[in-house]
Amino acid sequence: MATLTMLEPAQQKTVSAPTPNGPDEFQGLITETSNAASEGLDTKSALEIARIINHEDAKIAAAVKKALPEIAIVIDTVARSLRDGGRLIYVGAGSSGRIASLDASECPPTFSTAPAQVQYIMAGGPKALASASDVNEDSPELGQRDIARRRPTRKDIVIGVSASGRTPYVVGAVEYARARGAKTAAITCNLNTALADVADTTIVTEVGPEVISGSTRMKSASAQKMILNMITTGAMTRLGYVYDNLMVNVHMKNAKLVERGIRVLMKVCNIDREAAIRTIKSAGKSIPIAVVMLKANVDKMEAVRRLTKSDGNVRLAIDDSRLEL
């Protein structure tokens, strides 16, 4: 075990994180084992290869289903953190980091969240999104350094994403965040891992060996994408940024999203297109304000007041009496 010194002199303490131990530490990782179903893959036709991959991919949803209780815990933890002014910060390396960065980057246009609310850090930094920088993932010290720059607090939740569950960079970052009081979670595809040991909640999806042994950009990454979709969509829905099953917080920054906003308002309020466009304009191009104006029959100023009081929860803002409960 390597001992990591906190980077801020005013609050010195130490946290520990694993260092690579050679080939033995990979023994027992199901994500690294050979898949009998894909033996002789290089001798197969294109259709046979596609069928094998498809057959293995069919196992992913079932594996995720087994982890739903833990996913629900993380959804509520994220919602509480964001409601209290905290942040969701993903930590990953390689494919896991890229999946995390995708989820973080899609929250602002989907839910109109501020970019700072859902963040990511990954081994090698942003440049590793396009160019592999896998050597950095072996350093718990770099993970500690990178998360320390975000100054995690008890209001935040830090989620480590690692298919193997042993990536030193991710383990070091999550352990540091937990030592600072942040809530922590782990998303892995193996049981009994170092990452699980340093997280408050662990989501494990045992998707089994990959079609290409150890290529966790395949089933493992697909499982991670499904889980991250559930976490942020679930948390934003719990916060009231979704009304019914509609994207009422859509950020109308391009023609497609403007059209989506118009359709959402038409459906929610059962009005025609012209009325929807007029209301959106009078609401300052805010769909939540427009929805509250129409559903509660109030002016823009009152709609803004209600949304402020409800922390952006559209349903609560419509029924103002519930805000007093």
267 in the same domain as 123:
no
What pLDDT is stored for residue 135 in this prediction?
63
Same domain, 153 and 284: no
Same domain, yes or no, for 305 and 177?
Answer: no
The tokens 């993932």 sit on which residue?
A: 137
Q: Is 158 within the bounds of a domain?
A: yes
pTM of the model: 0.86
The range of the structural domain enclosing residue 114 comes to 2-238
Examine residue 248 and state whether it is found in any structural domain, yes or no.
no
Within the chain, which residues score under 70 in pLDDT?
1-27, 132-135, 321-325
- Distance separating the N- and C-terminal Cα atoms of the chain: 50
Q: If you search the block for the tokens 């094998």, which residue do you land on?
A: 52
- Total tally of structural domains belonging to the chain: 2
Domain harbouring 143, CATH code: 3.40.50.10490
Check residue 133 and give its pLDDT.
Answer: 63
Say if residue 97 is in the same domain as residue 164. Answer: yes
**Dist. CA 174–CA 200, nearest whole Å:** 10
pLDDT digits (tens, 9 = 90+) for 248-267: 988 888 888 899 999 999 99
Residue of 56, 70, 137, 175 marked catalytic? 137
25, 56, 70, 106: the active-site residue: 106
**137 assigned to active site:** yes
pLDDT of 320 = 74
Helices 94-111 and 219-238: crossing angle in degrees, nearest 10, is 30
Quick one: pLDDT at residue 239? 94
**What does the pLDDT read at residue 31?**
82
pLDDT at 73: 98
What DSSP assignment string belongs to 138-197?
G-HHHHHHHHHTT---TT-EEEEE-SSS--HHHHHHHHHHHHTT-EEEEEESSSS-HHHH
